[in-house]
Amino acid sequence: MCGITGYIGKNKNAIKVIIDGLEALEYRGYDSAGIAYITDNKLKVIKEKGKIVNLKEKVDLNIKSTLGIGHTRWATHGEPSKENSHPHTVNKFTVVHNGIIENYLELKDTLLKNGYTFNSTTDTEVACAYIDYLYKEEKDILKTLNKATKIFRGSYALGIICIDDLDNLYAVRKTSPLIIAKGDGENYIASDVPAILKYTNKYMLLDDNEIAKISVSDIKVYNDKLKEVTKETYEFEGSYESSMKCGYDHFMLKEIHEEPIVFSNTVNSKMDNLPDFSKYNQIHIVACGSAYHTGLVGKYLIEKYANIPVYVEVASEYRYKKNFYDKNTLVIFVSQSGETADTLAALKKANDDNIDTLSIVNVVGSSIARESKYVIYTKAGCEIAVATTKAYLAQLSVFALITSWISKDKNILKDIDKISNLIEETIDKNYLDIAKQIYKNNNIFFIGRGIDYALCMEGSLKLKEISYINSVAYQAGELKHGTISLIEKDTPVIAIATNDELLEKTISNIKEVKARGAKVIFITNSDVTGDFYDYIIKIPKVCETLQPILTVIPLQLIAYEVAKLNNCDIDKPRNLAKSVTVE
Ligand code: AGP
C-alpha cells in the first residue's frame, strides 16, 4: 500500500535519498509516485502515474536539496492519475499521506465555503487544505497539526513541509504506521523500515496522535497535549543487503530460499512473556489472507494434540460479528506486517472486551505487536515480495511450538532438528516441469483433507495472487457434492495427501477426478504409487506438527514457476499491496 519517505539533512541530496526510499518501498504496491523538495528556498513538486521509473525520468538528481518528501500511492479516493498522486500542495503546506481521512467530505464542504478549490478527488488534498485553513487561525505549525489530529477521523500518516519553516520536516500519525529514522546531521521519515536501511538502521516509532518536528540535528516528538515525549530508539537487525535480491531473479524466490534459516531462527529464538496457556479453555485465531491459512493449520494441530477448541476467523468478519468468549479465552492474531487494518481493528475489539490477546507478528514494534498483551515474533526478516512465503512458514513454525507447549508433549516436535535440511532438500527439487503442465490452464483445483485442506487454501491463494490463474481449494470429500461438474479432460488437480489415516480416502477422491479426465499432480509423503495420478511430488515425511512446513514448499514453488512462465510481475502482482492498511 502507499509508501512515504522524507529527508532533512546537510550531507546528502534529499531527492536521491527520497527516490531510493521509494524504490525500497516498491514492494508494497502502488500506482503512481511523486516527490516534493526544497531548492533555493522554493518548493518543487514532480508526480507521475505508474512506476517510479516514470518519476525518475522527470527528476534532475543534480539539483541540490536538503529537505523533501516522497510518496508512492495506491489509489483509494480517485483513480490512479498524476492529479491524484501525492504530494499535494495547498498554499503554505505540502503533504504526503497514507491511510484514509474518513470525514474528508465534511471538511471539504467547510473549505469550499471558505474559498478553497481542489485539483484532485483525494482526501489527501482536503487534509492538506484543512491544515492550511487551521494554520491561518493558529499561526503555529505544532498547534495546527495538533488541532488537525482532533478533527481528522480515520487513519493517517502524514509527512508535512510548511514553506514558513524550511528548517523542519513535520510528521503526524494515527493508526497508519510511520517511523522517524536517525542519521548523523540528517534525519528521515518513512512508512516502513526498508525505506531507510540504505542509510541508517536506527529508528523510532511515532505513536497515535503524536507530532514529530524534525530538523537536521534534532527530533522532537510531542503528544496530543503538545508535551514533549521521550522516544525509544530501535536498531533494525537485518541489513540493507539482506533486503535486496542477492542474485535471485525475484524476491519471492530469494525469500523461499531463506526458509531453512527462518525456520531455525524462529524456533530457536528467545520467547519471553508468554501467556500461561494452561488457563485457556478456548482459543480464537484471527487474521487475513495467508496468515488466516496458518491459523487453520494451528486450529487442526491445537485441537488434535492439545484438545482445546479453536475457532479461526477472517479479521474483516470477526471485528463486526458477535464473538463468544470469556476470561478463559485467548485470542491469537497473526500478521506478517503487524499493520493489517482489519486484524488491528479486531485486536482492539478484543482488548476493549478485556480478553487476553497474543499476536504472532514479524515486524518488531508494529502496531499489532504493540497493542497485544503478549507477542511472539516470527524471525522471517524483511519480506519484500507481496506474496508471503518465508513469513508464512515462520507462522506455521510458531503454531507447531504453541501446540507442543499446550499439549506439553515434546514428542510431537521430535523431527525439529532435521527440518532445516529437509526444507532445503524440498526447495531444491524441480518444479518447472510440473509448472509447464499447468501454466496455460484457466482453472486449477487443489484438493486435500484435514490439515492438507488448509495447505490447499494457501497453495490456491499463492497461485491466484501471482499468476492470475483462477484456482479453488476444496476438501477432497466435498467435491462430489457439486464442484466435480467442473472437472473435464486435462483440468489440473493438485491433490495433497500427507496424513496416513486419511490417505486411502483421499486417493478415492483423486480417483473420482481422474475418472473424469483430470490431470492429477499428487503431493505426498507416503510411498504409495498407482495409476491415479499423472505426476507425483514426493516430500519428506516428518511428524504431523511440522509436516505443513514441508508441504507448503512445492505449492510456493509451483506458483512461482507458473507465474514466471506467464511473465507475471511476481514480486509486485497487480492490484495487491504488501501491507493492507485500509479496511
Ligand atoms: C499473502 O501472500 C498475501 N499477500 C496476503 O494474503 C497477506 O497474507 C494478508 O494481507 C495478511 O497480511 P499480514 O500478514 O501482513 O497481516
The pLDDT tens digits for 519-549 are: 999 999 999 999 999 999 999 999 999 999 9
Assess whether the C-beta atom of 460 lies below 6 angstroms from ligand 1. no
Q: Supply the pLDDT for residue 175.
A: 82
Task: Compute the CA torsion angle 296, 461, 523, 566 (nearest 10 deg).
Answer: -170
pLDDT for position 304: 97
pLDDT band of residue 401 (cuts 50, 70, 90) is: very high
For ligand 1, atom 7: residue with the closest CA:
289
Ligand 1, atom 3: nearest CA belongs to which residue? 387
pLDDT of residue 25: 84
For ligand 1, the distance from its centroid to the CA atom of residue 292, given in whole angstroms, is 8
Catalytic-labelled residue, pool 108, 349, 379, 578:
578
- Residue 335 CB–ligand 1 contact under 6 Å: yes
Q: Which three cell numbers stand for residue 60?
A: 534532475
Q: Is the CB of 256 under 6 A from ligand 1?
A: no
Ligand 1, pocket-test mutation among 285, 290, 362, most atoms within 8 A of CB = 290
Q: Alpha carbon 307 to chain centroid distance?
A: 31
Mean pLDDT of 325-343: 94
Say if CB 68 and CB 6 are below 8 A apart: yes
540 preceded by a cis bond (ω within 30 of 0): no
Q: Is the pLDDT of residue 579 over 80?
A: no
Reported confidence tier of residue 75, pLDDT bands at 50, 70, 90: confident
288 Cα: distance to centroid of ligand 1 (angstroms): 6
- pLDDT (0 to 100) of residue 146: 97
In percent, the amount of the chain with pLDDT more than 70 equals 98
Strand 219-222 to 228-229 pairing? antiparallel
Name the residue with higher pLDDT: 238 or 217: 217
Does the CB atom of residue 465 touch ligand 1 within 6 A?
Answer: yes
Has residue 101 got a pLDDT over 80?
A: yes
**Does ligand 1 have an atom closer than 6 angstroms to the CB of 395?**
no
pLDDT of residue 51: 84
Is the shortest distance between the CB of 386 and ligand 1 below 6 Å? yes
Q: Which three cell numbers stand for residue 129?
A: 487544505
pLDDT for residue 38: 97
Residue given cell 525520468 in the structure block:
57
Residue 216, pLDDT > 90, answer: yes
Dist CA 178 CA 350 (whole Å): 24
Q: Domains of the chain (ranges plus CATH)? A: 3-242 (3.60.20.10)
**Residue 364: predicted pLDDT:** 82
| % pLDDT > 90, the chain | 82
pLDDT digits (tens, 9 = 90+) for 106-120: 999 999 999 999 999
Give which of 449, 415, 451 is closest to 303, Cα–Cα: 451
pLDDT band at 240 (very low <50, low <70, confident <90, very high): low
Which conformational region is residue 185 in: left (phi greater than 0), alpha (psi within -120 to 50 degrees), or beta? left
Residue with cell 490477546: 357
pLDDT of residue 145: 98
Asked whether 337 lines ligand 1 (CB < 6 A), one says yes
Site to probe by mutation for ligand 1, drawn from 288, 293, 578 as the one with most ligand atoms within 8 Å of Cβ, is 288
* 460 or 2: which leads in pLDDT: 460
Measured CA to CA, the distance from residue 10 to residue 84 in angstroms comes to 31
Instruction: Please give the pLDDT value at position 84.
Output: 87
Mean pLDDT taken over the chain = 93
Determine the Cα–Cα distance for residues 21 and 198; give it in Å rounded to an integer: 8
SS3 576: coil
With a 6 A CB cut-off, is 72 part of the ligand 1 pocket? no
Closest C-alpha to 514, from 488, 480, 538 = 488
Question: How far apart are alpha carbons 243 and 269 in whole angstroms?
Answer: 21
- Indicate which residue's Cα is closest to atom 6 of ligand 1: 289
- Residue 505: pLDDT band with limits 50, 70, 90: very high
Instruction: Tell me how far the alpha carbon of residue 580 lies from the centroid of ligand 1, in angstroms.
Output: 8
pLDDT higher than threshold 90 for residue 344: yes
Judge whether residue 576 has pLDDT over 80.
yes
Asked whether 559 lines ligand 1 (CB < 6 A), one says: no
Cα separation, 213 vs 221, whole angstroms:
6
Of 316, 340, 555, the one to substitute when testing ligand 1's pocket (max ligand atoms within 8 A of C-beta) is 340
Known active-site residue 578: yes
Q: Which atom of ligand 1 is nearest to the CA of 368?
A: 16
Residue type, 527: D
What is residue 365's predicted lDDT score, i.e. its pLDDT? 83
Q: For 89-99, write each residue's pLDDT tens digit.
A: 999 999 999 98
Q: Is 456 a catalytic residue?
A: no
> Is 27's pLDDT higher than 90?
no
Ligand 1 pocket test, pick from 336, 343, 363, 578 with the greatest ligand atom count within 8 Å of Cβ, gives: 336
Strands (E), 457-542: 470-475, 492-497, 519-524, 535-538
pLDDT at 333 over 90: yes
pLDDT tens for 164-204 read 999 999 999 998 889 999 999 999 999 988 899 899 999 99
**Cβ pair 156, 124 in contact under 8 A:** no
- Amino acid identity of residue 300, one-letter, is Y
Atom of ligand 1 nearest to the CA of 290: 8
pLDDT at 1: 64
- Bridge-based pairing of strands 228-229 and 234-235 is unpaired
319 Cα: distance to centroid of ligand 1 (angstroms):
17
Statement: residue 248 has pLDDT above 90 = no
With 0-12 CB in 10 A as exposed, 13-18 as middle and 19+ as buried, what is 83?
Answer: middle
The grid coordinates listed for 99 are 491511510
Residue nearest to atom 10 of ligand 1 (CA): 289
The tens digit of pLDDT for each residue in 118-145 reads 999 999 999 999 999 999 999 999 999 9
Query: How many whole angstroms separate alpha carbon 114 and alpha carbon 103?
Result: 17
What are the φ/ψ torsions at residue 154 (nearest 5 degrees)?
A: 115, -150
Distances (CA, A) of 243 to 142, 337, 454: 35, 15, 29
Residue 245 has pLDDT above 80, yes or no: no
**Which runs of E-coded beta strand occur in 456-526?**
470-475, 492-497, 519-524
